[in-house]
């Protein structure tokens, strides 16, 4: 009977950390300008945009936020409105009714509990409606420069698996913990941006162009597109260190 694959240890080995460091260096080389692609000019605008981005593309969110932010320039003005009024500005994005309620509630809490200022701690951000760790990490990392955790979206999940950084089937929480263990704290915000850039531009979920990308060639041990391309060429999979 074949042995089950060993699960990732609680703490990465020196070899795993060295491989992660090499991956981080490669990402920085290829995506030196990686950044948050949501448009915003203040912490509350980033918070609203991130709430709206759930199950919706950044492109779609960026289309609705200019008019929304012009109508509601402060948390107080969001709070003084109603979910129904906010809905009118975001009807083109998915789940707009739920998101309008979440935005209104979050802004009302910021106005009443935090003096109209977006809080800058994970604990406080998680008290806001529509905010889980992913959203809080986006706000903390980009609006305040605080590396509290790693943003784990669908791109980061996919690439963490394809690069062999996590166990198959790992939960979002487990993925975040693993990435936090593998990479230095000061890199966490930038790491998520670089992985998202690579996921959007090269190592896509479908019909990607990563088979010949240097990062996927070097680190893509679980990249189906890369493996498929090698089979077509008859080259087989090149062994990788883990």
The answer to whether the beta carbons of residues 46 and 138 sit under 8 Å apart is: yes
Residues with active-site annotation: 134, 153
Q: How far apart are CA 47 and CA 141, in angstroms?
A: 12
Alpha-carbon distances, residue 236 vs 6, 21, 46, 208, 239 (angstroms): 23, 26, 45, 20, 9
The answer to whether the beta carbons of residues 166 and 160 sit under 8 Å apart is: yes
Structure tokens at 77: 């003005």
Alpha-carbon distances, residue 222 vs 217, 219, 240 (angstroms): 11, 9, 11
């Amino acid at each position: 009977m074949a042995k089950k694959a060993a699960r990732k240890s609680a703490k990465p080995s020196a070899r795993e950390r060295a491989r992660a460091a090499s991956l981080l260096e490669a990402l920085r080389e290829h995506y030196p300008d990686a950044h948050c692609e949501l448009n915003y000019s203040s912490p509350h605008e980033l918070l609203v945009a991130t709430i709206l981005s759930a199950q919706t593309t950044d492109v779609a969110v960026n289309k609705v936020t200019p008019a929304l932010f012009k109508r509601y320039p402060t948390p107080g003005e969001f709070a003084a409105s109603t979910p129904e009024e906010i809905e009118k500005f975001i009807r083109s994005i998915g789940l707009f009714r739920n998101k309008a309620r979440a935005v209104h509630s979050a802004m009302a809490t910021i106005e009443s509990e935090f003096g109209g200022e977006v809080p800058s701690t994970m604990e406080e951000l998680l008290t806001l409606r529509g905010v889980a760790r992913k959203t809080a990490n986006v706000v903390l990392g980009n609006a305040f420069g605080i590396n509290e955790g790693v943003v784990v979206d669908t791109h980061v999940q996919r690439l963490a698996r394809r690069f062999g950084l996590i166990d198959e089937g790992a939960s979002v929480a487990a993925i975040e913990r693993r990435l936090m263990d593998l990479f230095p704290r000061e890199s966490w915000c930038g790491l998520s941006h670089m992985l998202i850039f690579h996921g959007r531009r090269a190592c896509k979920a479908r019909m990607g162009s990563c088979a010949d990308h240097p990062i996927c060639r070097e680190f893509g041990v679980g990249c189906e597109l890369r493996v498929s391309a090698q089979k077509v060429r008859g080259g087989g999979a090149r062994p990788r260190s883990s």
